[in-house]
A and B are shown apart, each in its own frame.
Chain A
Amino acid sequence: MKPITAPQTKASIGSGVDPRSVQLTEDGKLRHFLTLGGLNKDILEEILDTADSFVNMGEQSVKKVPLLRGKTVVNLFFENSTRTRSTFELAAKRLSADVLNLDISKSATTKGETLMDTLQNLEAMGSDMFVIRHADSGAQHFIASQISPNVAIINAGDGRHAHPTQAMLDMYTIRKHKGDFAKLKVAIVGDILHSRVARSQIQALNILGAQEVRLIGPKTLLPASLAEMGATLYTRMEDGLKDVDVVIMLRLQKERMDGALLPSESEFYRLYGLTTEKLSYAKPDAVVMHPGPINRGVEIESAVADGPQSLILHQVSYGIPIRMAVMSMAISGQTQQKAKDAALSASTESGANSDKNTDGEEASA
């Protein structure tokens, strides 16, 4: 087994590697998709543009393309989420990949098999991509950097840390319906503390240059340190929603009611639930989004969720093209990096037993 950190040479005080570089190739292309932190505007726009191509393709009678033909994508959901898993599965299938769904929470780990063993076995079976959801923040980082660097890792949600594909489909929705980010004020409302979606949205909006990102909620769900991610904090809807172009409502987990975070659902709804009345504080043409599934009457009024300003159903439909874009980009980056590594090891140690370039494809058209 290799040492857990890259060996540091010389000085030990305070040295460390930029962890966010884990997801990029030497040429700055995506090889994993773990977080939006550390990515630049070009990559985010490339994701959105590529998704655009796939959205257009959705109008074709044949919705399938052979980009990932012969590749194996494994959906590893350590937390259950049928919805998210289904969109990843459909996305992979539309790219012609072979898809394996593993409900880890029920199978291997309960038999005492460790996370590491499971992943290494799947890797040995020739998997090209792991789509992972995990309850621990940073689990996908750990897997991409320590266990399976040669398998493209797509983060489908880790702890409270990140849910980058959800955030990107939200960005796609905003761009499609509201245009230039530089002119937009966006408010995110609700349980920010526990929300990986909110963290990824804040990062995405900042990278894409949104005019202002606002967070609205009671202080129990809105740690002050969030401001340092590039957001303005509000505790009152009247103030926070004033003149915004986009309102993103977050799902309030029922189990949060058990702790001392909130007194009751009804009080939360009264203060922070998005009603037609509260929506009127925003710009008249403001749009309303929600990552779903919605708790009607807890964080949003039905009339708003189903109303003319709601983009909630659009968000759902963009989930597949965004995931197709990210998956095809990551496989491409990963393959290029592997080819480069293989060429390097072949040139340094001639005849070495380097990994074969798995795609037998030839020169370009």
Chain B
Amino acid sequence: MTDNQRLVIRSNKDLPEVEPLLEQMTDALHQRIRLLGLDNIALVGIHSGGVWIAEQLHDRLGLIEPMGTLDISFYRDDYTRVGLNPSVKPSNLPFATESRHIVLVDDVIMSGRTIRAALNELFDYGRPDSVTLVTLLDLPGRELPVQPDITGQKIQLPEGARIKLSPDPLALTLLEPADA
């Protein structure tokens, strides 16, 4: 895919609905699982948005084993610069990761640094056989060689704007530079 395939967002009305994207991601995951012959997969969501997405995928895939959650605050590479967020949630992996196929889920990928931190934390728990990365959205601005295997939608935002995912029901909002 190239960048000209990105959906250009100019205002809130350009934003995609979350529901169809989740459907599409579930299909892609099913396909990938079949294709690679992955059995024994385990879902892990990254706090906070990634957990919400992962919960949805967990239901749709009909997994029985509970999913895991990661708070990567302690693994960030910028804490000496911006300090620590004092309300770090505990990471919780209710299963052994050793020799598992992990599906790592986040809401947005941009620089790739969050995923780097998450992979580091994940590997502190053991050595999985593989990690598949799933994100709802893919924004330009990668700073690390990390690419999602499955993405709901590649989008492009106006200069300085940010995107926010809110739960119940899952919905996207565009934060203009003035709001951001």
Contacts and interface: CB of A to CB of B under 8 A. Distances in A.
B81 A336 contact: yes
A290 to B, nearest CB: 28
Question: B interface, how many residues as a size bin?
Answer: 20 to 34
B77 interface: yes
Contacts, number: 86
B139 interface: no
Tell me which of A57, A65, A336, A365 has the highest count of chain B C-beta atoms within 10 A of its own C-beta: A365
B84 interface: yes
A362 interface: yes
Contact of A328 (B82, B84, B125): B84
B87 A361 contact: no
A123 B58 CA distance: 52
A328 B86 contact: no
A225 interface: no
B86 A66 contact: no
A57 B87 CA distance: 12
Contact of A361 (B80, B124, B143): B80
Interface in B66-96: 72-84, 86-93
Nearest to A334: B80
Contact of B111 (A59, A331, A363): A363
A304 B148 CA distance: 58
Contacts of B72: 365
B125 A365 contact: no
Contacts of A46: 86
A65 B120 CA distance: 10
Given A328-B79, A335-B80, A362-B143, 16 more contacts: A56-B90, A57-B90, A60-B91, A61-B93, A62-B125, A65-B75, A332-B79, A332-B81, A332-B84, A333-B83, A336-B80, A363-B111, A364-B78, A364-B111, A365-B78, A365-B111
The 10 closest A-B pairs by CB, nearest first: A365-B113, A53-B88, A65-B74, A49-B86, A56-B90, A364-B78, A335-B80, A365-B114, A50-B86, A62-B124
Interface of A: 29, 46, 49-50, 52-53, 56-57, 59-62, 64-67, 328-329, 331-333, 335-336, 339, 359, 361-365
